[in-house]
Amino acid sequence: MRTAKKTVPTLDLFRLAAVLLVVMNHTSPLADVSAMADFWLTRVLARVAVPFFLMTTGYFLSRNHWAGVGRQLKKLCLLYGVCILLYLPVNLYAGSFTGPADVLRKLLVDGTFYHLWYFPATILGIVIARWLSRLGHRVALPVAALLYLIGLGGDSYYGLVSQIPLLRTLYDGIFTLCGYTRNGLFFAPLFLLLGVAGRRWNQKLSLAGFFLSLAAMSAEGLWLHRMDVQRHDSMYLALPLCIVCLFSLLLGRNKGESRKVREFSTAVYVLHPLCIVLVRGAAKLLGLGEMLIENSVLHFIVVLALSALLSAPCLLRLQKKPSPTARAWREVDLAALGHNAQVLWNTLAPGTELMAVVKAEAYGHGGAVTARTLQRAGVRAFAVACLAEGIALRKAGIRGTILILAYTSPEETPLLTRWHLTQTVADIDHGRALAARGRRVHVHLALDTGMHRLGILAENRKEILEAFRLPNLVVDGVFSHLYVSDSLEAEDVAYTQEQLTLFYDTVAWLRTAEYDPGKVHIQSSYGLWNLPAQPCDYVRAGIALYGVRSDDAPVQRSLDLRPVLSLRARVASIRTVQAGESAGYGRVFQAEQETKLAVVTIGYADGLPRDLPQRGGQVLIQGRRCPMVGRMCMDQLLVDVSDLSEVAPGDTVTIIGRDGGQVIRAEELAACCGTITNELLSRLGMRLPIVSG
């Protein structure tokens, strides 16, 4: 099977390498070969494993903007509880607990078995990182870095800092509360917050940075080891930079996720110390101690194999959900979205901010995932069409201004205030009705400069003043809409200029009358393409954010924008019809010669026009264009694949996007459908899952 875009979940796959390093750390496979090589492998290289786990946790929490933090903490607590019970017999047999205080310390900080420290560290670390993140990265990361440096003094550098009596007293006090400083206070917050930042650098720069920082960490670790100053060896000065470069390298290649790999690697992490106990016990019983214990390489191999065997059911479990790419799906390139936001930002006048228009599920791209990505890129203002969309963004963890561009019934005013949403005043009657509800509502006042859709006429200064004076309305902004700015016809360009003049005159009059207009905005996407930068506070960017234009009409300014969305489906079946035979509803397709048809798993219920095949619709299969034929069904369509030498069920079909050297642009498909990309993308059906990368 050939795919248009290979999905490789590198973040999840690297978990396997990380957990392998953890097993090596606890079995010392090179101990019989070279003590120094084993030290480097298990006490230097292997130290990237746990920070990687923490960064990944922070990254995925930030993708939901901490919306799932409670669920994640509950899951960690439950898993930790299971691990405590699993290792309780071993602890009791070994007499590991020396009293109530020791039990409490191990339960809350050190872990009840030597590898279980990770769980209380992550739980506490998430709580601290979440609290610090509210202060912003400029504060949170330096505070976390300071905590890490304090922890470093009680870890690899303890022998040096403990020579200062005051610091030795400080660390002795810390060690009465915890056995190590590699815990949820000093160690975990920094890597969690670095994951939240999710820096994605150039791949070559990331690769070079990783090897250079690993070399620095190796030199640092070996020097400290020779100096014999390490109390423990989990923390190095070069470790944060090393893991940031590694994470950037993996993140740049990451496409998709693999829950099975995550569960398998977690199971190996949890079970491998138990496997060490079992292997050692079995070796003593069978008299194989020399082979299975003293031979460090074989000991590692057997422990790893047993751990993998006991964890294998995680790979074999039944899927709880259908694969999002099994039938038809939307593929959203979040890196392209972030790139587009930066390109648009660079075109704005100084002091102007980007207001991301994410109505209609972000033009079919997924409202929540789009808004979160843009929020991480620095966008702090969003526009939606209705109250429900605004509430959905708040529930997804989106902060900042959320402006509802269309009408909201005054009866819904309590929801506007509850969810801290900003409402457009559609006309003076709407403003009066909102004010009459008796609740303080933040609004933007729409000015009608000619479109006659929503807003108070810009010339009606009496009603504008009344709107500003209405009790309970807090006017935070004034805006209008340039409804022919997409045209370069001289008449339309002149009309757009008339709108701008009327709008700015009204804003200037308000200021003269000592009324603060608040945030002023009039440009949308085509205002960016066809107008110079405007003296406004916001630019409402919609279709441009998604890397496409409404159509192929010329624009004044070319911008380096990248398409964000691809639309793909699968080949379900291949069948051959003979000359003279028909296929599909209404016998619309009549074969003039022997024809090979592919049944494709997408139809008009997914948002495509039913008559698209008759309009000349095409798809890409194996990097080649193939025509749609017949009449589109609700869930399927037919494609002529006679020119393809090999095509099989399961092959990827691209309706919008790139496959090999060929591309079908959204503008092309929209023109074929007799519409614009705005409509085409926003009508894509909700049963098309979104696969983001």
- Residue 653, Cα to own-chain centre: how many angstroms? 25
Indicate the residue among 241, 257, 273 that finishes a domain.
257
Where does the pLDDT of residue 364 fall: very low under 50, low under 70, confident under 90, or very high at 90 and above? very high
Give the dihedral of Cα atoms 446, 452, 457, 458; nearest 10 deg. 70
Q: With DSSP H G I counted as helix, E B as strand and the rest as coil, what are the percentages for the chain, rounded to 5?
A: 50, 15, 35
E runs forming strands in 493-622 = 519-521, 538-541, 565-577, 582-583, 589-590, 595-600, 618-621
Q: What is the CATH number of the domain that holds 526?
A: 3.20.20.10
Instruction: Tell me the average pLDDT across 40-53.
Output: 96
Please determine, for residue 192, whether its predicted confidence score (pLDDT) is greater than 80.
yes
Mean pLDDT of the chain: 93
Q: Residues 310, 338: one domain?
A: no
The pLDDT assigned to 6 comes to 54
Q: Residues 382, 515: one domain?
A: yes
- From CA 384, how far away is CA 571, in angstroms rounded? 36
The pLDDT assigned to 419 comes to 96
Is 440 strand, coil or helix? coil
- Domain of residue 266, residue span: 1-15+258-320
The tokens describing 128, both together, are 């601290």
- From CA 548, how far away is CA 532, in angstroms rounded? 20
The pLDDT assigned to 5 comes to 45
Q: Is the residue at 672 inside a domain?
A: no
Q: Residues 428, 466: one domain?
A: yes
Q: Residues 338, 304: one domain?
A: no
- Residue 585, Cα to own-chain centre: how many angstroms? 42
- Residue 621, Cα to own-chain centre: how many angstroms? 28
Q: Residues 199, 271: one domain?
A: no
Please determine, for residue 321, whether its predicted confidence score (pLDDT) is greater than 80.
no
The pLDDT assigned to 376 comes to 87
> Which residues are 478's β-sheet partners?
445, 520
Length of the chain (residues): 693
Percent of the chain's residues with pLDDT above 70:
98
The pLDDT assigned to 386 comes to 97
Indicate the residue among 227, 257, 287 that finishes a domain.
257
Q: Is the residue at 471 inside a domain?
A: yes
Please determine, for residue 394, whether its predicted confidence score (pLDDT) is greater than 70.
yes
- From CA 136, how far away is CA 423, in angstroms rounded? 27
Query: What pTM was computed for the model?
Result: 0.67
Q: What is the DSSP string of 606-617?
A: GT--TTTGGGT-
Query: Which of 41-45, 60-64, 202-206 is least confident?
Result: 60-64
Residue 195 exposed, middle or buried by CB count within 10 Å (0-12, 13-18, 19+): buried
Question: Which alpha helices (DSSP H) does 365-427 contain, by range?
Answer: 367-376, 387-395, 413-418
How many structural domains does the chain have?
Answer: 4
- From CA 253, how far away is CA 270, in angstroms rounded? 28
Catalytic residue numbers, as ranges: 359, 585
> Which parts are annotated binding residues for substrate?
453, 634
Half-sphere exposure of 209 (CA within 13 A, CB side): 20
Residue-wise pLDDT tens digits, 648-693: 999 999 999 999 889 999 999 999 999 999 999 999 988 999 998 6
> Which residues are 621's β-sheet partners?
624, 653
Own/partner pairs, 453-458, CB within 8 angstroms, 24+ separation = 453/481, 453/483, 454/406, 454/407, 454/424, 454/426, 454/427, 455/425, 455/426, 455/427, 455/480, 456/425, 456/427, 456/428, 458/502, 458/503, 458/506
Nearest to 186 by CA among 159, 246, 146, 157: 146
Please determine, for residue 49, whether its predicted confidence score (pLDDT) is greater than 70.
yes
- From CA 334, how far away is CA 374, in angstroms rounded? 9
Q: Residues 445, 406: one domain?
A: yes
Is 653 strand, coil or helix? strand
Please determine, for residue 283, whether its predicted confidence score (pLDDT) is greater than 70.
yes
**Cα-based angle 669, 670, 671 (whole degrees, multiple of 5):** 90
The answer to whether the beta carbons of residues 364 and 682 sit under 8 Å apart is yes
The pLDDT assigned to 319 comes to 60
The tokens describing 38, both together, are 């084993």
Half-sphere exposure of 251 (CA within 13 A, CB side): 24
Half-sphere exposure of 324 (CA within 13 A, CB side): 16
Q: Is the residue at 671 inside a domain?
A: no
- From CA 121, how far away is CA 517, in angstroms rounded? 50
Residue-wise pLDDT tens digits, 218-259: 999 999 999 999 999 999 999 999 999 999 999 888 877 788
Q: Is the residue at 687 inside a domain?
A: no
Q: Residues 65, 184: one domain?
A: yes
Please determine, for residue 4, whether its predicted confidence score (pLDDT) is greater than 60.
no
Q: Residues 101, 140: one domain?
A: yes
Please determine, for residue 615, whether its predicted confidence score (pLDDT) is greater than 70.
yes
- From CA 272, how far away is CA 308, in angstroms rounded? 9
Nearest to 638 by CA among 672, 607, 596, 673: 596
The pLDDT assigned to 146 comes to 97
Please determine, for residue 271, whether its predicted confidence score (pLDDT) is greater than 60.
yes
More confident site: 319 or 494: 494
The pLDDT assigned to 316 comes to 76
The answer to whether the beta carbons of residues 455 and 447 sit under 8 Å apart is yes
Q: Residues 51, 136: one domain?
A: yes
Q: What is the CATH number of the domain that holds 621?
A: 2.40.37.10
Residue-wise pLDDT tens digits, 433-454: 999 999 999 999 999 999 999 9
Q: Residues 246, 269: one domain?
A: no
The pLDDT assigned to 320 comes to 65
The count of other CB atoms within 10 Å of the CB of residue 646 is 8
Indicate the residue among 204, 237, 257 that finishes a domain.
257
Q: Is the residue at 635 inside a domain?
A: yes
The count of other CB atoms within 10 Å of the CB of residue 484 is 18
Q: Is the residue at 421 inside a domain?
A: yes
- From CA 636, how far away is CA 605, in angstroms rounded? 9
**DSSP, res 488:** -
Contacts for 435 with CB less than 8 Å, ≥ 6 apart: 441, 470, 471, 472, 473
- From CA 223, how far away is CA 164, in angstroms rounded? 20
Q: Residues 81, 169: one domain?
A: yes
**Cα-based angle 47, 49, 52 (whole degrees, multiple of 5):** 120
Please determine, for residue 17, whether its predicted confidence score (pLDDT) is greater than 50.
yes
Instruction: Tell me the average pLDDT across 169-196.
Output: 94
- Residue 389, Cα to own-chain centre: how many angstroms? 19
Q: Residues 182, 55: one domain?
A: yes
Indicate the pairing of strand 618-621 with strand 565-577: unpaired
Q: Is the residue at 34 inside a domain?
A: no
Q: Is the residue at 23 inside a domain?
A: no
